[in-house]
Structure 1
Amino acid sequence: MDLSIVVPVYNEEENIPLLYQAITTAVAPLGLEWEVLLVDDGSKDGSLKALEALAGKDAEHVRIIALRRNFGQTAAIAAGIDHASGDVVVLMDADLQNDPADIPRMLEKIAEGYDVVSGWRKDRKDDFATRTLPSRLANGLISAVTGVHLHDYGCTLKAYRREVLTGFKLYGEMHRFIPVYASSVGARIIELPVRHHPRRFGKAKYGLERTAKVILDLFTVKFLSSYANKPIYLFGGTGIGLMTLSGIGLLYLFIRRVFFGVSVLGSPLFQMSTMIFILGFQSILMGLIAELLVRTYHESQGKPTYTIRKLVNLSPNGHSQDD
């Protein structure tokens, strides 16, 4: 299979036939082996029946995954990725705001050697105050924290080589952070301006309340991308910083006691410095425990600490091709 298109679906009954037609129009002329995986995320309207009708009409290309209840967009995307068989996986929404006509342009970028093509809704057709502005602020924050600079993390329309989607699981709202995970294994990422249309049917499923979830997930992503293999750098660095701060406070109390005769125990700074020192020491111990867990994870499951883009004159088991 050359191409898998994964589409999470939640209460999009009216959009489904139009979406299928748009995907077919965009992809069929490319001459590829392709499939579209439509993941019903516990829809409460007639979406599942509409999907089943499509599957009956085009069994060659349409795959349906029906989840038992509404697990959320990230879980639906994860289910689609797990069941996709294409060398390239394209993610997109079912609300027709993403345009399938952009998929061929994304595949051209993949053919040029990029591993991730991220859609950028440069001319976004959403409410500015409740959707566009919070999204821009979140994109700036995510780019600053992760070091992977994209204008539009929230745009679902993205294309990935399959190999950069392996090795991690998606939770919470983490589907938007897939480019960060991909970057951590050396993926080449490019951003491509894509069309964005106003919603024609149904209503938006997310509002400002999603922002808090994204910020909390950002902490997890930053830790996993920067410190998952060496947690002692985070915990140990924090511990050393706290112990240094404690040492400065205690040194100040010592100097004040020796030269000015001021009691050490009578100052609240002594208790604060002592507690900060203990916290710093505990942080270092936590880092050592985390290091043991990381080694257990890699060694017990045979997980590599590196990723390989390609091999020349070597088979995947490390022997020369002549062996």
Structure 2
Amino acid sequence: MTETAPVPSSPEPIRISAVVPVYNEAESLRPLTEELTRALSSMGVSYEILFVDDCSTDGSLRVLLELRRQDRHIRIVRFRRNFGQTAGMAAGFDHARGELVVTLDGDLQNDPADIPAMVKKLEEGWDIVAGWRRKREDGFLLRRLPSIVANRLIGLYTGVSIHDTGCTLKVFRAQVLRGVSLYSDQHRFLPVVYAGAGARVTEMEVNHRSRRFGSSKYGLSRATRVLLDLLSIKLIAQFSQRPLHYFGVLSLTFFLFALFFVLVGLIGVENAFQGDASALASFNRWELPVVSIVILLMMLVVYFALLGLLGELAVKASGMHKRGTLDRLLNELH
């Protein structure tokens, strides 16, 4: 990853950093820059536009370099090879210098004119404002329907009700973004991750436009990755906050199974001592398997209980036993 000719530090703090991941969007970059400049300039605050080029092959970098020569607000980060949108977002967060960070796509489907209203909403006391493309200009079967199903599933599974987690247009307080590593397709789960850590998350309707140039870089093939990322985020969120509770549930589950087989064995013993010949024969046949199952289940009970205790020690050693890293960062905002 390289940053092309970084501009000198501004004498005044930068209020807003607009982070735009780019992959083969050469035709969209000029009109997008014009719209972004118009929207950010109208707010009367200092700003920068940070383009992250994901090793485009269509001349996007050439267009960006030309735009930067014309506008000192533009900065460019370029990957040496293609890493994907999440890596582009993470690189933008690392290089952004603004107090607020705005993210949006580079294909002109997000409307920069929505940014002032979203920032105003954030200043009402929120930490994250997520865009909601209520009226999407996409095909229903391949884009809108999978999005509806995914958003419902994410809401049910995480308890965080966001209508449109896939909308890239979002506004964050910069403090919220510190200290978190992103990978795979996890950029879409940021509101879920930070809401679980105590961030105040809201959403507002935004304009969504049909694609003017090129074609979408994403399709149904990403659905599997999204589901796996959802599972990992849920696990990590629970583990980092209360590992003993998480593994304790598993330990208790196996203990109940063990108790069931112990009761089965006791019933067999009772029948055997009552002189029932068939029960005695059955007990002799199943005695060893039942005892073996009980021993195995009790080993699992001890195993998961110890994992929970080790998890608690690891969390405590990392300084997260009372207040996670995200919580400390969020408290800076209050």
Q: TM-score, normalised by structure 1?
A: 0.90
Query: Is 1:266–2:286 an aligned residue pair?
Result: yes
* Counterpart for residue 211 of structure 1: 223
AA matched with 2:241: N
Contact 1:264 1:270 in 2 (8 A): no
Task: Note closer, same or farther for the CA distance 1:117–1:304 as it changes in structure 2 (3 Å cut).
Answer: closer
Task: Note closer, same or farther for the CA distance 1:297–1:42 as it changes in structure 2 (3 Å cut).
Answer: same
Query: Is 1:309–2:309 an aligned residue pair?
Result: no
* Counterpart for residue 300 of structure 2: 279
Q: Select which of 296, 302, 309 maps to 2:317.
A: 296
AA matched with 2:244: I
Contact 1:297 1:303 in 2 (8 A): no
Q: Bigger shift: 236-245 or 94-103?
A: 236-245
Q: Deviations over 1:127-174 (max 9, x none)?
A: 211111111111111111211110000001000111111231111111
* Counterpart for residue 227 of structure 1: 239
Query: Is 1:151–2:171 an aligned residue pair?
Result: no
Counterparts of 2:105 and 2:74, CA distance in 1: 16
Query: Is 1:77–2:84 an aligned residue pair?
Result: no
Counterparts of 1:37 and 1:168, CA distance in 2: 19
AA matched with 1:277: M
Which consecutive unaligned segments of at least 5 residues does structure 1 have?
313-323
Deviation at 1:26?
1.4
Q: Bigger shift: 27-36 or 264-273?
A: 264-273
Counterparts of 1:198 and 1:57, CA distance in 2: 28
Q: How does 1:1-323 map to 2 (within 5 A)?
A: 1-59=14-72, 61-259=73-271, 260-261=279-280, 262-263=282-283, 266=286, 271-298=292-319, 306-307=327-328, 309=331
Aligned Cα RMSD in Å?
Answer: 2.1
Counterparts of 1:106 and 1:243, CA distance in 2: 50
Task: Note closer, same or farther for the CA distance 1:81–1:127 as it changes in structure 2 (3 Å cut).
Answer: same
Q: Deviations over 1:51-104 (max 9, x none)?
A: 111111102x10100111111100100000111111110110001111101101
Task: Note closer, same or farther for the CA distance 1:112–1:291 as it changes in structure 2 (3 Å cut).
Answer: same
Contact 2:22 2:54 in 1 (8 A): yes
- Count of matched residue pairs: 309
AA matched with 1:242: F
* Counterpart for residue 276 of structure 2: none
AA matched with 1:234: Y
Q: Deviations over 1:294-316 (max 9, x none)?
A: 223228xx97584353599xxxx
Q: Bigger shift: 253-262 or 136-145?
A: 253-262
Provide the secondary structure at the position in 2 that maps to 1:266.
Answer: helix
AA matched with 1:68: R
Counterparts of 2:250 and 2:200, CA distance in 1: 32
* Counterpart for residue 321 of structure 1: none
Provide the secondary structure at the position in 1 that maps to 2:93.
Answer: helix
Provide the secondary structure at the position in 1 that maps to 2:302.
Answer: helix
Contact 2:241 2:324 in 1 (8 A): no
Tell which structure's C-alpha radius of gyration is larger.
2
Q: Percent identity?
A: 43
Deviation at 1:265?
5.1
Q: Bigger shift: 62-71 or 285-294?
A: 285-294
AA matched with 1:11: N
Provide the secondary structure at the position in 2 that maps to 1:68.
Answer: coil
Contact 1:8 1:38 in 2 (8 A): yes
Q: Bigger shift: 268-277 or 211-220?
A: 268-277
Q: TM-score, normalised by structure 2?
A: 0.87
